[in-house]
Amino acid sequence: MTKKLMIETMQLKEAALWLSVNEAVASMGKDTAYTNRRKSEWCAISTLMDELKIPTNHQLPDNQKAFEIMMESMRDKKMVEELEQEDFDSRDINS
């Protein structure tokens, strides 16, 4: 296996694990045993890549999917916060 192929293989694996972390957070929640196992797996390869100075390839399809999941989660959270604020504002007794 060439050095280039090793790097590409590690980047693909890291991206797949990062996607699995984001899918776990979206489906199971942030602090579940399942999610924590996914995080541990991703962290191991991410740490190794950092030590070897191998950059994350953000253009890989799995990294793009993970980014989309993160953005969707942020939009959902913002929408919930806005709805909660509207509900809170509607209860203002000084209005």
Q: Tell me the per-residue pLDDT of 1-18, one tens digit each, with 9 for 90 and over.
A: 999 999 999 999 999 999
Beta carbons within 8 Å of 57's beta carbon, 6+ residues apart: 8, 11, 15, 63
The type of residue at 46 is S
What is the reported pLDDT for 14? 98
What is the reported pLDDT for 64? 96
77 to 69, 71, 83, 84: CA distances (angstroms): 12, 10, 10, 11
What is the reported pLDDT for 50? 98
Regions of the chain with pLDDT less than 70: 87, 89, 91-95
